[in-house]
Amino acid sequence: MVPFDHREQVLTATWTPQDGVRVTFSDLPDPWLISLDRLGRDLKVRQYGGDVERIDWVAEYDPEGGWVWLLSSVTIAGHRPSGLGVSGMGASVDDDEEKVLMSMADLVQNEVAESGTAWPWGDAVTAQSLLLQ
């Protein structure tokens, strides 16, 4: 895996419950932007045990593996931002919308949970089925 400082930044965006997803920069194809919008809608209606005030996102391309990783900094109401973190699975730049969405959900869910709230996990039900609503 290429160190973070050697990865190319290919997307920056924010999410708030009031404004939804706001992309400030993107070099990614449309399925990535559509998936990010779908993820934002799901975040708005599926939070438990705390209020996510804001999420800042940076997507980075790893040229060694060809994967894109969505890093998330989660801010819970009344707390400081968590700082950019990533855990989960990446997706290829050319993956379809469903694969991209599953990757994003996987990458974001741990960061949301570690910030003191919860968002549905894909263990019992696939992340894809949660996000298809």
Encode pLDDT of 48-80 as tens digits. 666 888 999 999 999 988 899 999 999 988 888
Q: What share of the chain is helix, strand, coil (3-state, %, to 5)?
A: 30, 30, 35
Task: Taking residues 14-26, report their average pLDDT.
Answer: 94
Mean residue pLDDT across the chain: 82
pLDDT at 5 over 80: no
Band of residue 35 on the pLDDT scale cut at 50, 70, 90: very high
- Report pTM: 0.79
